Amino acid sequence: MQLLEERIRKDGIVKPGNILKVDSFLNHQMDIPFINELGKEFKRRFADAPITKILTIEASGIGIACLVAQHFNVPVVFAKKAQSLNLDGEMYCTKVQSFTHKRVYDVILSKKFLSAEDHVLIIDDFLANGCALQGLMEIVKESGAVLEGAGIVVEKGFQNGGDSLREQGIRVESLAIVDSMTDDSVSFRKDEWD
């Protein structure tokens, strides 16, 4: 998506370890009219999908998912990260490995808010190794809901999360796919939608 690529080139900052900071407009300070345009684009790409619920994971997915959801007219439900739990059967639960933070955490979602009648669109800010997304997909599977796909703002194409999900047959729509980064440049994979 050209608007997003231009914004990343203008305001994104490349940090050591292949980290792209976009916190001036996407996941710390949030540019609402701009993110609203991203929401419109997700709606365009998933116009044919009968989505009933948008699913994300705390923290930085939530605000983005809310702006996206306005274009789908459906609720947002977000999975919570928990350190330890008392499992009481009321929660879907899975474990997610974070490579960035070098730890494993539990991810939980109340069974009240996702069921076999739902058609789910997963939304998140970043897709790197895909561990967070795999965890959300396990929760969707456990609920019996239909996974319609995943909408990602920034995919790091040089990590294999996105491509391995596509190989599994998951519909992954990333608005920008970064192929490589240096201190002063970011290059993107060609976008079939532009």
Q: Considering the rule CB under 6 A, would residue 100 count as an interface residue with ligand G4P?
A: yes
Residue 149 near Na ion by CB under 5 A: no
* Minimum distance, C-beta of residue 160 to ligand G4P, in the bound complex (Å): 10
Q: Which of Na ion, ligand G4P, none does residue 76 bind to, with CB < 5 to 8 Å depending on kind?
A: none
Query: What count of other Cβ atoms lies within 10 Å of the Cβ of residue 72?
Result: 20
Element holding 143 (H helix, E strand): helix 131-143
Q: Which does 20 bind (CB under 5 to 8 A by kind): ligand G4P, Na ion, none?
A: ligand G4P
Q: Which of residues 108-127 bind Na ion (CB under 5 A)?
A: 124-125
Determine whether 157 is exposed, middle or buried from the number of CB atoms within 10 Å of its CB (0-12, 13-18, 19+).
buried
| Ligand-binding site membership of 131 (annotated) | yes
Q: Known binder of ligand: residue 130?
A: yes
Our measurement of the distance from residue 18's CA atom to the centroid of its chain's CA atoms, rounded to an integer in Å, reads: 18
By CB under 6 A, the residues from 108 to 167 that bind ligand G4P are: 125-132, 156, 161
Going by C-alpha positions, the residue among 78, 52, 47 that lies closest to residue 65 is 78
Contacted entry of ligand G4P, Na ion, none for residue 99, CB cut-off 5 to 8 Å set by kind:
ligand G4P
- Give the nearest distance from C-beta 61 to Na ion in angstroms: 5
> Which entry of Na ion, ligand G4P, none binds 129, CB below 5 to 8 A by partner kind?
ligand G4P
Which option in ligand G4P, Na ion, none does residue 130 bind, with CB closer than 5 to 8 A by kind?
ligand G4P
Asked whether residue 27 is marked as a ligand-binding residue, the answer is yes
**Smaller CB separation from Na ion, 91 or 153:** 153
Q: 14 forms bridges with which residues in the sheet?
A: 20
**CA 58 to CA 124: how far, in whole Å?**
9
Q: Which two tokens stand for residue 23?
A: 């916190």
Please name which of 166, 194, 96, 173 lies closest in space to residue 138, comparing C-alpha atoms: 96
Alpha-carbon distance 1 to 177, whole Å?
9
The annotation places the binding site for xanthine at 20, 27, 156
The annotation places the binding site for 5-phospho-alpha-D-ribose 1-diphosphate at 128-132
